[in-house]
């Protein structure tokens, strides 16, 4: 079995074949081929094809022996995009792994689209999410916001990614208070909102902070793979309750996906790799917000979350980054119903988070 990766090579087409061969060696052996012992040959990657796709653009397909992964997600990442992350004009644009390897190295989302819908009791309509912000508020203020959002009908109430263990709202104090407030909001309204604390803990605090979240009754986590790594997502997916929602935030991942000629294509990063690691939903900057992804890139991300991949459950795209309630019909038309609509600051604009949440919810209730 092999792991197949496709790279877009930008530059002189006449050099594309040689660049692809050098890439295969770099990503597997990192050793001069003429010096490699014969016994090492089974671990070397091989170029399957190099196809010209336009002026200055070629697609190189490379097969890596599955054994090169060591059945570890960390090594898969090094293998398909390790040293080549340092090379200009090389972009990972597709990836294919076997279901057996995917199960061994990641396992995919524990919930996926169907599971998230089940635990949130949202069978058909788009899922609604918001963020507790800004950083600097005390725990009681954040808890009051959490309750208002739960009463107003938001499904996923996450910490802002900037909420860590700051003095204004220390993690051990904040998480239980918000979880309790969201539970009270659910009890008052009959909703089934989940509170997702931000989880970007340093390694020495990972187990302690997970224990705090679990004991508090949090319904999942906002994970930050760009900080903690994709293997942390995998570990959390395997060491949390079956109904725990893992929502991935793109902080620090953005630099991997914004260049059109380098890094990792957004649909591979947000749609395939986060899914492989175990994220149930992936936040990304939607078109029309304050970031730069195009409609074509956003549609590709949504398709990457949904398309068949290594036998893994599909995940949910979560477009965000400056979205507004008045754009909900447009966003639903663009992304479909299997989407997490993330609106943060705009729900605070009128000073009535419960009321703006109710109006946000009213926009999607007809789709239930």
C-alpha–C-alpha distance, residues 161 and 228, integer Å: 13
User: Sign of torsion, CA 226 229 231 232?
Assistant: negative
320-to-3, 40, 325 alpha-carbon distances in Å = 32, 46, 12
Q: What would the pLDDT profile of 220-251 be if each residue is shown by its tens digit?
A: 999 999 999 999 999 999 999 999 999 999 99
Residue 116 has which token pair?
């998230």
Residue 73 is predicted with a pLDDT of 96
Please tell me the predicted confidence (pLDDT) of residue 117: 98
Residue where a domain stops, chosen among 44, 76, 105 = 105
Summarised one tens digit per residue, pLDDT across range 84-97 is: 999 999 999 999 99
What one-character DSSP code corresponds to residue 312?
Answer: P
Instruction: Say how far apart CA 171 and CA 152 lie, in whole Å.
Output: 25
Beta-strand pair 156-159/2-10: unpaired
Tell the burial category of 359 from Cβ atoms under 10 Å away from its Cβ (0-12, 13-18, 19+).
middle
Give the model confidence (pLDDT) of 161-184 as tens digits.
999 999 999 999 999 999 999 999
pLDDT of the residue at 289: 85
pLDDT at 205: 96
SS3 assignment for 172-235: HHHHHHHHHHHHHHHHHHCCCCEEECEECCCHHHHHHHHHHHHHHCCCEEEECHHHHCHHHHHH
Separation of alpha carbons 132 and 162, rounded Å:
10
Q: How far apart are the C-alpha atoms of 265 and 324, rounded to whole Å?
A: 26
Are 118 and 95 part of one and the same domain? no
Give the pairing of strands 90-96 and 2-10: antiparallel
Mean of all residue pLDDT scores within the chain: 96
Same domain, 74 and 133: no
Number of structural domains found in the chain:
2
Nearest to 25, CA basis, from 71, 74, 84, 67: 84
Which CATH number do you get for residue 330?
A: 3.20.20.110
My answer on whether 360 and 334 are in the same domain is yes
Residue 23 and residue 13 in contact, taking contact as beta carbons nearer than 8 Å = no
Same domain, 198 and 304: yes
Same domain, yes or no: 99 and 237? no
| pLDDT given at position 328 | 96
Where is the domain boundary, 90, 105, 120?
A: 105
Q: 156 in helix, strand or coil?
A: strand
pLDDT for 22 equals 95
Query: Which residue segment(s) compose the domain that 160 sits in?
Result: 112-367
Query: Do 50 and 6 fall within a single domain?
Result: yes
What's the confidence (pLDDT) of residue 360? 96
Question: Do both 30 and 129 map to the same domain?
Answer: no
Q: Scan for tokens 């795209």, then name that residue.
A: 317
pLDDT the model gives residue 292: 73
Calculate helix-pair angle for 328-335, 353-364, nearest 10 degrees: 40
Give the model's confidence band at 37: pLDDT under 50 very low, under 70 low, under 90 confident, else very high.
confident
Using alpha carbons, select from 83, 21, 6, 46 the residue that is nearest to residue 265. Answer: 6
pTM: 0.96
Give yes or no: residues 88 and 212 share one domain: no
Identify the band that residue 291 occupies on the pLDDT scale cut at 50, 70 and 90: confident
For residues 64 and 164, state if they share a domain. Answer: no
Q: Which one of 105, 139, 172 terminates a domain?
A: 105
């Amino acid at each position: 079995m092999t792991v197949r990766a496709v790279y877009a090579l930008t530059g002189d087409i006449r050099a594309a074949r040689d660049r692809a061969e050098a890439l295969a060696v770099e990503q597997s052996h990192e050793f001069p081929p003429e010096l490699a012992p014969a016994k090492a040959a089974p671990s070397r990657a091989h170029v399957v094809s190099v196809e010209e796709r336009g002026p200055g653009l070629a697609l190189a397909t490379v097969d890596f022996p599955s054994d090169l992964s060591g059945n570890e997600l960390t090594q898969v990442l090094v293998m398909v995009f390790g040293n080549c992350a340092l090379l200009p004009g090389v972009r990972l644009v597709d990836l294919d792994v076997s279901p057996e390897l995917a199960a061994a190295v990641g396992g995919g989302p524990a919930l996926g689209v169907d599971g998230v819908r089940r635990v949130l009791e949202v069978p058909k309509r788009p899922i609604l999410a918001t963020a507790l912000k800004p950083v600097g508020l005390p725990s009681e203020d954040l808890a009051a916001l959490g309750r208002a959002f739960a009463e107003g009908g938001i499904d996923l109430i996450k910490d802002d990614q900037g909420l860590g263990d700051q003095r204004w709202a220390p993690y051990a104090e904040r998480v239980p208070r918000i979880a309790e407030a969201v539970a009270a909001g659910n009890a008052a309204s009959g909703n089934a909102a989940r509170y997702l604390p931000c989880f970007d803990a340093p390694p020495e605090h990972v187990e302690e902070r997970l224990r705090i979240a679990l004991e508090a009754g949090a319904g999942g986590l906002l994970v930050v793979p760009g900080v903690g790594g994709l293997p942390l997502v995998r570990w959390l997916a395997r060491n949390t309750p079956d109904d725990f929602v893992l929502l991935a935030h793109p902080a620090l991942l953005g630099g991997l996906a914004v260049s059109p000629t380098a890094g990792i294509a957004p649909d591979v990063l947000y749609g395939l790799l986060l899914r492989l690691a175990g994220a149930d939903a992936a936040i990304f900057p939607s078109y029309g917000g304050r970031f730069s992804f195009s409609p074509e890139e956003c549609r590709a991300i949504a398709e990457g979350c949904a398309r068949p991949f290594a036998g893994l459950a599909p995940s949910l795209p979560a477009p965000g980054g400056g979205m507004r309630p008045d754009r909900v019909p447009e966003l639903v038309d663009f992304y479909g119903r299997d989407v997490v609509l993330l609106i943060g600051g705009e729900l605070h604009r009128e000073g009535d988070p419960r009321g703006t949440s109710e109006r946000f919810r009213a926009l999607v209730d007809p789709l239930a």
